[in-house]
A and B are shown apart, each in its own frame.
Chain A
Amino acid sequence: MSEDDRPPVLGSWRALYALVLGTLAVLIVLFAGLSSVYR
């Protein structure tokens, strides 16, 4: 086992981390939109 193992998708751990954080950002924007529309 190596600590520098590459993930099986997206090529690097940084890219996977960006995917997780980017998804969170999109969800928060969507939820803020819902809050605004259905006040």
Chain B
Amino acid sequence: MRLLDWAVLLGTLVAIVGWGLWRERGVKSAEAYLRGRGDLRWWAIGLSVMATQASAITYLSLPGQAYEDGMGFIQFYFGLPIAMVLLSAVALPIYYRLRVHTAYEYLETRFDRKTRQLTALLFLLSRGLAAGVSIYAPAIVLSAVLGWPLQATNLAIGTVVVLYTVSGGTRIVSRTQTWQMVVMAGGMIAAAGFLLSQLPDGLSLNQAAHVAGALGKMQVVDLSARLDTRYTLWSGLAGGLFVQLAYFGTDQSQVQRYLGGQDLTQSRLGLLMNGLVKVPMQFLILGIGVLLLVFHQFHEPPVFFDEVQWSRAHQGAKADEARAVDLAWDAAFERKRARVEELVLAVKHDDAAAVESAKAALRQAAAESSAVRERAKSLVPFKDADHIFIGFVVSHFPAGLLGLFLAVVLCAAMSALAAALDALGTTTMVDFYRPIFGASSDRRELVVAKLCTVGWGVLAVLFAVFAAQIDNLIQAVNILGSIFYGPMLGVFLVGFFLKRVRGTPVFLATLLAQAAVVAVFALSSIGFLWYNVIGCATLVGAALVLNRAVPARVQG
């Protein structure tokens, strides 16, 4: 890293955190720590909600996902705008009317305490584990760029974020997120602009898209109705709707963001802003991965993107095989590049027959290239998908832009992790400590709330230590969320729409639905977006049946 990179990185982070600490220096009560002051405008809520969802994983893993699997992941977000509309119309008015701190407080009003605490426990499990992955992702970046040991980096990031979150609670999290989101958006636009400038002279976007399309990366929308295909239009609209409804409507890390709004109108507008901006923003980030893939058709990429692991493979028992793979990769790249140039020429001449012929030849060359890469993967016991984009960033970004990208990653890490720890601490305090130990002094509650935040931070760091075994980080987080979100959403949907169903049937149905989703995850190949539908539908169906079967006198 050069001096300018350090200046941009540290300047950005210190300015945002310093501004937040200065603005929120008066937070001295438990209420202000847990809920904020309720004065956020719609644009601040919208940016805060987006910053909470866009963790560091988004910027490290998503371009790599598009590089390997194409643009189809965008379909995961198709349910989001619909979810924003439904939540604005149904859930927000209820939360505001009851003036709750957490979404789960509503469940005690509607059902009973055990249902509230079971649902809050599911949230703590899913968000607590995901928070660990949120620490690990930026740790990869800093260990790659600065050469720090990965586990020490995990510890350092976790410590800084915990201290930062504990200092100001909910309000500092939301305030700083507005600027963090501005940095993230600006940094990714700059990264896309730089990648465009690195494509060969004379290569138009149309020609680049034809190359990416021939390599199977421009299948943005998949209309097939296969349940075992992870991302389709239908799984995005149906499964995506359920996961986004659950995430934004029942995950306290999001609920806490918009409950800090000035009023219902501002909170609704904030969510709708997210509904308008999110899909184009994710398209831009995925597009960066596809642009990088096109760049690598003209400039040879490494056969294995985690270059530290690949150099180790050259020193072990399989060193001869690794060297053979290197030679095969060089040859495969040259053959593929020749096919790419034929395709670009055919597109330039607008010769449809030549374009089809060149695409077929390129696909053949790409298949040979992929086979060599598979040989490389078989020699290293680690996955490299999350090293694809950061490898390019470190080796190609000019002075200043590298620092800005690292600021993007750290802003994202801080915003998502701070929101998660804030919500985990608030839920532990409001949904477990207060019901169990009763009301205590404001000072004592403030101390307990801060201790809860610290406790979750420690657990998240411990989980981060084990995250190195996970293949693709963003998918891991989404799969994890989908295992718990279906039943969580089901509880709230029953609460909102099925007024006759009571507490004990819903409580039992939650246990059944959670067991069903875990069984589907362990025993079937169904795409993870469907877990949300299965969990939610099982819960609603079971609650209706049990509501008839369980005698009224034992219903909560």
The residues of A with any CB-CB pair to B shorter than 8 Å are: 1-3, 5, 7-8, 13, 16-17, 19-21, 23-24, 27-28, 31-32, 34-35, 37-39
Q: Is the CB–CB distance between A24 and B82 below 8 Å?
A: yes
Contact of A13 with B89 in the complex, beta carbons under 8 Å:
yes
Bound CA–CA A32/B257 (angstroms):
34
Closest residue on chain A to residue B269 by CB atoms = A7
> With A3-B264, A24-B279, A28-B233 as given contacts, are A34 and B220 in contact (CB-CB < 8 Å)?
yes
A34 touches B88 (CB 8 A): no
- A1's partner among B209, B264, B279 (CB-CB below 8 A) is B264
Q: Is the CB of B218 within 8 A of A34?
A: yes
* Min CB gap B204→A, angstroms: 13
A23 touches B97 (CB 8 A): no
B89 contacts across to A, CB distance below 8 A? 13, 17
Any A CB within 8 A of the CB of B210 = yes
CB distance from A4 to the nearest CB of B (A): 9
| Assembled-state Cα–Cα distance A2/B263 (Å) | 9
Interface residue from B78, B93, B264 paired with A28 (Cβ < 8 Å): B78
Shortest distance in angstroms between B385's beta carbon and chain A's nearest beta carbon? Answer: 23
The answer to whether B209 touches A27, judged by C-beta atoms less than 8 angstroms apart, is no
Q: How many angstroms between the C-alpha atoms of A17 and B81 in the bound complex?
A: 9
**B96 and A3: CB pair below 8 A?**
yes
Taking Cβ atoms with an 8 Å cutoff, the residues of B that contact A are 71, 74, 78, 81-82, 84-85, 88-89, 93, 96-97, 209-210, 212-213, 218-223, 233, 263-265, 268-269, 272, 275-276, 279-280, 283
Residues of B within 8 A of A16 (CB): 272
- Shortest beta-carbon contacts, A-B, top 8: A38-B213, A38-B218, A31-B220, A1-B263, A24-B81, A5-B265, A20-B275, A32-B221
Nearest neighbor of B93 in chain A, beta-carbon distance: A3
A28: B residues at CB distance < 8 A: 78, 221, 233
- How many whole Å from B369's CB to the nearest CB in chain A? 20
What chain A residues lie within 8 Å of B269 (beta carbons)? Answer: 7-8
A26 to chain B, nearest CB (A): 10
Known contacts A17-B88, A21-B82; 10 additional CB pairs below 8 A are A2-B264, A5-B263, A23-B81, A27-B279, A31-B71, A31-B283, A34-B209, A34-B218, A37-B209, A38-B212
For residue B261, which residue of chain A has the nearest CB? A1
Shortest CB distance B174–A (Å): 19
Kindly provide the distance from the CB of B229 to the nearest chain A CB, expressed in whole angstroms.
14
Find chain A residues with CB under 8 A from B81 CB.
20-21, 23-24
Cα-based distance from A7 to B267 in the complex (angstroms): 11
Min CB distance B276 to A, Å, is: 6
Contact of A24 among B78, B93, B97, B263 (CB under 8 A): B78
Per a CB cutoff under 8 Å, which of A27, A32, A38 touches B280?
A: A27
Whole-angstrom CA separation of A10 from B452 in the bound complex? 43
Decide: A3 and B85 in contact? CB cutoff 8 A. Answer: no
Chain B residues within an 8 Å CB radius of A13: 88-89, 268
* Set of chain A residues within 8 Å of B88, measured between Cβ atoms: 13, 17
